[in-house]
Every structure is written in structure tokens, then in C-alpha cells.
Structure 1
Amino acid sequence: MNKRLESEAILQALVLEAENNGSEVRLATLSRLKEACDDVLSGEALKLARELGWRKDWFMPNRPLVVRSVHEYRKMRHNRSPRTEPTGPTRDTIAHDHGLSSYVKARESERMAVNRPPRPRSGTRARRSDDIIAEKLDFTDQAIVRTELIEGRLAKLKFDTLAAFFHRLSGIDLGNRESFSFEDVASSIRGQISTDDREALARLAVRLYDNELLVTMGLINEAGRIRTDYGDAVLVKTDELRVLVRLAGLDAQSNTVG
């Protein structure tokens, strides 16, 4: 089956099941789920969020379509018209319903297929991983494994970036430490920071509080911690970001940051 039609096949099967069971509630849920996915992927959800002054993080262009995206869209629609727009399907409902979650995953896989960059040259590790996934797993499992791979590669990239930054700043090699805390790093470089270095740290700290920038890289600042929105892996913990802000000479509790 063409992967572009996978979500349609899943939805068709779910609708047929609901019709056979005579469940109008289930049919309405499926309709709202499809509408939510359509509007998030088309940009209509982002447009509505801007009109309503609603939080836009989950609807930004090129952001992965996840269960939370649908949840936030339905919450936004309900907030606008509480008497006519139900809140569901909610995040918990979808997460505990194999049919609904499979549909969302299929829609995201189709989005990725359209936006996927050219495949790596034959022989590269990324190409071998992709071939193994395609050969050994069914469609649903492929989406799960690819999600985990993307999350892991993104986390490694961000760690390598931060490690290189601190190595250049203070000579500390985070890659050679089995464990470390940002307080350790702070104590090692405090006193070595020049005015220019502090300004560079300040610019980094400000970017780490800029959610519109972070979401374009698959990240989000949630309550002062930097995490991936795709799998909820934490890249920078709250106390670690607090240390960075302090080193930069900023005040996270004021309007100086964020």
C-alpha cells in the first residue's frame, strides 16, 4: 500500500467499525481527529491561534504532528466555542486508543515522507539504519523506531553543540566525563568569563527562552527546562539553565530573560 494512503486506510477501517457498531459518538470523535490533523498540517491551526492570541508552539510550520498537537487544537476550538465544540479527542484518549494513535502516527509519517531530505549515500550509517527499519518492521513499528532515532540524534547533536561551546569557553571536555553537573562547570569557569564571553552567554540564554525559535529545532522551553517536544526527552534541566543564566549575569525571574 502506498504510504501516502496509510492514514486514509486506517481512518476508513475505524469509520467502518464505528458504523457497524452504530456509534455516533465514535464517528464524531474520528471526524474531529481528522479535522485537527488536517488543520495543524495545513497551517489553519496556526492561523486560528494567531487570531485568538492562543499559544502557537504546537502549530508551528515543520513541527512534528504529535498527540499533543491534536489535544491543543481541540482545546483551542473548545475555548473559542465551549457550547458547540467538545474538547476531545484529548491527549489521554488518543494515547490509550490504538486506532486513534495509529492514525496520528500515520499522518506524521506521511508528512515526513513529503518533507524528507534526499536519502544519504549508500553505505552510510543513516542509510543502513533506514534500510533495516524498512525491511524488519511493519509500518506502525517503523514510525515508532524512526521517532526514537530522530530524538536520539537530535539530543546528541545538541549535546555535542553544548559540549563544544563549554570546551571552547573553559577547556572542560564534557565528553570525557561519565557524569557532571552544570554547577561543576560553573565553578570551573566562573572567574574566567570576560565581558565578551558573558555577552555570548547572555545571547545563548535568551535563545533558550525563545520558544518560537526552539520549536523550529524540535525543542521547547517548558518551565525553565529545555526538552524535545517529540518524546519529551530533557536536554537542559531547570537547574542547569538557571546556572547558565546566572553565569550570563541575567535574572531568570525578571523580564531580562524570556
Structure 2
Amino acid sequence: MFEMFEIVLIIAILWISSFIVGHIVFGIDLGPFKTPVMILAFVGVVFHELAHAAMSLLVGSKPREFHVSYRSRFSSEPSPQGKVRIETRNLTFLQAALIGLAPAILSTWLFLFSLEVALTETVAPFTRIACALLCVSIWLALAPSKQDLWITRYYFGKNPRYSLYQISLLVGSGIIVWYSLFAFGVSLPIDILFYIMVGIGYYALKYGLIGARMGISKFLSRNPFKLRDLAKSPAKAKRKRFKPSKPEKIGQKRAQW
């Protein structure tokens, strides 16, 4: 099983290499190899868009349109491309980031699984070849598009404070899960279980903090000493000293002692 930091490094390498190779492939004349390469790229685009659609369903945003084309809309030349329109109402930064970067999670996992099958000698040769071609297809279309990055940046800017709060919860959940697995020596059979556990930990932290805040608020509202006012203004919590008024001020004669 790959460790968490190794997975992050692999994703970064795949992204960068896919971005570079994609620009080279679509920017030069491949001659007789153009058709097979474009077919492989088209298959990769299909998985790329399927990753977006699947992730949008997982985070509760319904896809409204799914479209993949082999040829360009402006010419008859092969140019694989696709798009997925999703319901963006009440979308948070974390939802947008997961949808926009879904190929980095789902397609990368599928790439690693296919690569492992392709390198396994006990698997049938035809299956190994098919998995190897699938790896190439996924790799060609793995890099995020400009639209994928834009939607992530856009929803972060809509509410930066809440976006940072979500990032903090996610990072905290990841650290807790990773440390727990490391401390207890637990080895997960498949890497995707780690992401599922991080998701569960995210919601546990989120609702745990909400519950703690509600409990503290309820405690402060019932406290006779009004600790809430004390926290806001310590001067209000001081005991007032009784200072009697002078007899002349209240219309009485001073006693002759």
C-alpha cells in the first residue's frame, strides 16, 4: 500500500507529466500515429469527465449535463474534449475543489490499479495489454483543465474564511487518520479506504465542534454569574461597593455627634 505522502508525490508527478505531454501531443503533427493517440486520449477524456460526474454525485451536487466529443466543434480534426455541467447552487469550496480535482483522486487510483494489473505476470496477456493502454489513456487526460482550476479558485474567493475552515478540518482529519494508522500499525488493504476514513473524520470533527459550541453556549446562557458578560467586559463582573449618600443630599440634617 502506498503511503499518504507517496500518493501525493505520485499525483503531482502524474499531473505535471500529463500537462506537459498533453500540450506536446496536441501541438505537433503525429503523422500516422495521430489517430491511435487521439483514440487513447478520447478514452482518457471519458474517464476524466466521468470522474467529475461521479464526484459531483458523491458531494451532493447533481450533474445536469454530460458531453464528450472526439472531434472539435470548430473543425473536423480529432480533438477529444468534454464537459460536465453541475448544480452550483449553495456549493461550498470543498465541494467545488473535490469536483474540480476529481481526476486527481479517482482517475489516479484507477491508473495505479491498472498499472499494477499490467505489471502482474500472473494476469492474462490480453488483460495486461488492455490495462497498459488504459493507463496511457488516463495519463493523457489526467491534468486538470483551466475550468477545473478556475471553479476551485472561484468558490474559495466567495467565502475565504469558511474555505480555510474547511481546509483546516480536512487537514486535521488527514493528520489524525494517518497518525492513528501509523501508531497502531494498521495496514489498509486498498488505499481508497484512507480517503473514506478522512471523509468520516472530517464530518466527525465538524459536528464535534458544532456540538461543543452549542454546549458551551447553553452552559453560558444558564450560568447565574453571566460568564459571557465577564468574557466580554471583566469590569461588569466586579462587585459594586455601597457608598451612602450625604444627609444633606437627601434632605436630612446631619446628626450632632
- State TM-score, norm by structure 1: 0.29
- State TM-score, norm by structure 2: 0.29
The structure having more radius of gyration, on CA atoms, is: 2
Instruction: For CA contacts below 8 A with separation 6 or more, give which structure has more relative contact order.
Output: 2
